[in-house]
Chain A
Amino acid sequence: MKNFLALILTLFLGFLIMSSLNNNIAFPKFGEANIGDRVSDAYIDRDVTENPGDVIFGETDGLESGPANIVTAIVADYRSFDTLGEVTVLFVSALGVALLLGTKKQKRLEIDFHPNFMLRVGSKALFGVILMTGIYISIHGHLTPGGGFPGGSMIATSMLLLYLADDNFRAKVKGFKILESIAGSLYVLIGIIGLIIGGSFLVNILDTGVIGELFSAGIIPIVYVLIGLKVGSEISNVIDNFLTEEGA
């Protein structure tokens, strides 16, 4: 009976959404979004503060926001404050996992699974590759798809690989905590420095350089690397908490 009610409710809600979106003149049909009317038009043209004319990859310099990847420009520059909040969400949930799963844990979780020689060696080789990829993705976030969040997660994934390859491996949790704390504090401090020098929180205080070059976009690569480090250490902490248990 309860299931039936839930079915009716969800069917009704789904029908309501679809029908009212279909009959809605203001809501654009799939694939027909008019970006010219939206705020993102200015993000693409980079003309929020002043009009730079045509933006040419590899030539135009001194833009208000330098990344060639427009999504990065939004995440780490135009709406950087959201990203700070999002990093905080991950921070507080990692902290919550540590609080909930106890702090006095000594022993690795026993899994009915023992890695053989190939797995051990292979994982250690892969560890390096994945770690390098993670760092590369974090650093090149303003040029190519990716950035701090997938980069940081890849760093954490490489740690996970070490956990799986070695029965007794435990990451140095204390070190991760320090890294996490420093990366987070630096993010906020960059914001406050921007407030003091540039007049508003998280303002881009460095020269944005030529669009498309590695050393461009001012503070954005720095912020993205910090995010990568922070996300990586937080998720590694979470994984460590899930993989240990109380015991001698």
Chain B
Amino acid sequence: MSAVLLIAVPLLAAFISILNKKLAPVLLLLVSLFNIVSIFFYSLGTITIGGFEAPYGISLVLDNYSLIGLIVINIAFFLVLLISYEKVKKVATVLLVALAGLNGLLLTGDLFNLFVFIEVSGIAAYLISTTNKKYVATFNYLVIGTVGSSFYLLGLIILYAMVGTLNMSDMALRISSEGISAANLSLPFLFMFIGLGVEAKLLPFNSWVKGILGNSNKLVGPMIASVYAGTISLVFGRILTSVFVVSDRLGLILTVILLVGIVAGETMAFASTKLREILLYSSIAQASLVIILFLEGITGWAVMMVIANVISKLVLFAIASYTSDELKTDEVDNLKGIFSKNKIIGVAFTIASLSVSGLPLFMGFVVKMNVLTSIFDGEDYLLAAVILLTSIVEGVYFVRVLIKLWYNKEDAKTINYNFVIKYIVSVLAVLLIVFGTYTTVLNDQVETVNEVFEIGGNE
């Protein structure tokens, strides 16, 4: 068995599923389940496609880094399908294509192939977002996404003209052996960074996020904010660690952009009064933070932070979007006291938000703690200060929201959450606590991830 099936089987199912509309959602669930099960049977290594060796043909890379990503993303994708099953029916084929695209993004070891998969998953995402029925927002998303991927392609082509290959590891090899200076490479890298940054929600390229996530229903919210965001962050991580050679000046520009992203995201989250907007601005800040960690070389813990974000954003956006769908409003003041009627949902939401802001006992705390330790080792006190400060800000606005939502009020609105979402969010919340207290698993995974890139660096 070869890991290319993770991409080929969803595609095959997508092509077949347009023949029968009733069959499509069933096929989607089956294929998604097949992917989760089959991941555990593939052997690690490089998979060549078409029988041509790495720099000439396209190759997929299945190492511990992409394996962790695949497991997390495929499971999260499946859970989102379960949560929003009645929304899924109309866009089942699109979701099959999206699944293939996301797996392709995580697996591919070729920069142009990555562009193709960005477009595949991107167009699927535009279509998923049309279920919001906010066409202007979708249009903005489409335009900005296309400009982003064009920038990525422009950077990639300049890089190809200089180096003469499209394969990631071969490119890193040739850059070091031909001695191309980092200054010469900063222009293509800047363009590729901007292009990917649009998809990864980094300021100041994120104006699409508010229209899409601020109006999200229970399919769009978790899908874009958790599954897509996690995938793009991991792709970013791979490119930053194994392809980019960052010169000092470029590094400074990128760090400044990202720091502005963090600060602006947290400020807007602090100022907002709508539940979904608070969450989306906070996730903008989180995305920038993750990229900074990849840039600083704290790869292992950055991956853990991506996973923590995938889990907690899935819980938060699922609950927030479900609630806003039911009540047709997401002003925090109008939602007062809903958790006092729905304790399970409330507890899960609380755990997830506290984990994001980094309180002890939860996964977010462990991750942030270790990240801070490595930053202090590197003596980068400014960054550490920013992370600490934003954690406090996050804590403040999340606690403010939580107090309002838990506020005991007699006339609080009642919502019937269906049992699927209840089970899923509580299992995920328990998972956050488990990872937060039993840290050996995380430490092991961090080591395996770091090993992948140390080997890659020595070649």
Contacts and interface: CB of A to CB of B under 8 A. Distances in A.
A79 B57 contact: yes
B232 interface: no
Contact of B55 (A39, A177, A184): A39
Contacts of B16: 181, 185
A91 B12 contact: no
A48 B53 contact: yes
B184 A181 contact: no
Interface in A24-81: 24-28, 33-34, 37-39, 42-43, 48-49, 64, 77-81
Contacts of A24: 162, 184, 187
B8 A191 contact: yes
Contact of B184 (A25, A28, A86, A177): A25
B58 interface: yes
A195 B48 CA distance: 10
Contact of B50 (A77, A89, A96, A181): A77
Contacts of A184: 11, 14-15
Interface stretch (B116-124, B252-260, B417-425): B116-124
Interface residues of A, number: 56
A195 B2 contact: yes
Interface in A177-216: 177-178, 180-181, 184-185, 188-189, 191-192, 194-195, 198-204
A84 interface: yes
B123 A92 contact: yes
Nearest to B100: A88
A89 B56 contact: no
A88 B158 contact: no
Contacts of B56: 39, 42-43, 48, 78
B18 A181 contact: yes
A42 B52 CA distance: 11
Interface stretch (B89-97, B223-231, B348-356): B89-97
B15 A89 contact: no
A204 B51 contact: yes
Chain B facing A: main interface SS: helix
Contacts of A204: 50-51
A184 B90 CA distance: 21
B11 A27 contact: no
Given A24-B184, A48-B56, A95-B18, A202 B161 contact: no
A48 B57 CA distance: 9
Interface stretch (A15-23, A141-149, A154-162): A15-23
Given A21-B187, A82-B113, A88-B97, A192 B51 contact: no
Top 6 A-B residue pairs of the complex, sorted by shortest distance between their CB atoms: A38-B164, A184-B15, A85-B116, A26-B162, A203-B51, A201-B4
19 contacts: A16-B187, A21-B158, A39-B55, A39-B165, A39-B167, A79-B112, A81-B49, A86-B116, A92-B14, A92-B127, A96-B127, A99-B91, A181-B15, A185-B16, A188-B11, A192-B8, A201-B49, A203-B51, A204-B51
Interface of A: 16-17, 20-21, 24-28, 33-34, 37-39, 42-43, 48-49, 64, 77-82, 84-86, 88-89, 91-93, 95-96, 99-100, 177-178, 180-181, 184-185, 188-189, 191-192, 194-195, 198-204
